[in-house]
Amino acid sequence: MKWLKSAFISLFLSYLVVLLIIATYALFSEPFSWGWLGVEISVLFPFLYYFWSYVQPKPRTGRLWLVSYLILAGFVLTMIPAFTKNGELSRSAVWLSALTYLFWFLYVNWYSKMDRTYSQYLKEGSVLPEFQLKTLDHKTLDSSALRGKRCLMLFYSGNWSPHCMAQINELVKYAGELEKRGVEAYIISSQPEVYSRKLAQKHKAPVHFVSDPENRAAEKLGILHKRGTPAGLHLFGYQKDTAYPTVIVCDEQGKVLFAHETDNYRYRPEPRMFLKVLDEHGKR
């Protein structure tokens, strides 16, 4: 099933781009067709959603009802000739519009849900197992070195994920608040170092971008996402496995104060959730 999810998003995005080009060409090069107009509308709005997700990524989205309704509106347009004398019904357009809605339904209700097993190591009060990370200057960072101060660790999938990028953007905005509370923030991924370095250069904030080579730390913490990287991205150096998006907040002894194991990749925890935990811990 994981390989199917890995292939799904790459196939869906390719499908949208190809069909949008075909529908646009048909609309402007052939006599007017309700069928192709309906297909154009059905594929245009999910395409725009993905495009805008990369241009202006958000850490949280709703149920995306508007896009769903617009896809259905396109499907209705393909059916107009069946109930009027305005042209001939295009069965291929009807099926393509219906297929687009099916893909979108699967994206919202199946692909977005991670179906992860919650880690036994991330329960509140648990002490994290020992693990190692790598800094961007190739030094080893032992988890034991994180003790003696409160720390926040954000494991993310990679630069290819717009929701991970939005989550990092949001966390960086709160870096000053974390620093005031004496919290060291570590942003962790197993992606090629060059991508993490680009993020570090982009975000000039008191946070640490570090690497988890071969996902060894993610595996030890029970947050390894097998085949979590979309198919095809290995051509850009990404591994097929990655870490589930996870936020971990620990106290000075390495005990877990807060953990959010994201189970829907379109919904990331709001910073006020872990800031509240840190403030309550600071009062004890």
Q: Is the pLDDT of residue 205 over 90?
A: no
Q: How much of the chain exceeds pLDDT 90, in percent?
A: 88
Strand partners, 243: 224
Residue 243: its pLDDT value, please?
97
Q: For the residues 187-207, what does the mean pLDDT come to?
A: 93
Question: What is the C-alpha separation between 78 and 91, in angstroms, rounded?
Answer: 8
Question: What is the C-alpha separation between 190 and 243, in angstroms, rounded?
Answer: 8
Residue 212: its pLDDT value, please?
97
Summarised one tens digit per residue, pLDDT across range 36-66 is 999 999 999 999 999 999 999 999 998 899 9
Phi-psi region of 237 (alpha: psi -120 to 50; beta: other; left: phi over 0): left
Q: Is the pLDDT of residue 284 over 70?
A: no
Give the CATH number of domain 120-282.
3.40.30.10
In contact, 218 and 190? CB cutoff 8 Å: yes
Summarised one tens digit per residue, pLDDT across range 208-252 is 999 999 999 999 999 999 999 999 999 999 999 999 999 999 999
Question: What is the C-alpha separation between 12 and 31, in angstroms, rounded?
Answer: 28
In contact, 69 and 42? CB cutoff 8 Å: no
Amino acid at the residue 64: L
Summarised one tens digit per residue, pLDDT across range 161-180 is 999 999 999 999 999 999 99
Which residue, among 246, 269, 121, has the nearest Cα to 277 in the 3D structure? 269
Summarised one tens digit per residue, pLDDT across range 139-151 is 999 999 999 999 9
- How many CB atoms neighbour CB 282 within 10 A? 11
Q: pTM here?
A: 0.92
Residue 283: its pLDDT value, please?
67
Q: Is the pLDDT of residue 84 over 70?
A: yes
In contact, 212 and 190? CB cutoff 8 Å: yes
**Residues with Cβ within 8 Å of residue 65, at least 6 apart in sequence:** none
Q: Where in the chain are the domains? A: 2-111, 120-282
Residue 30: its pLDDT value, please?
84
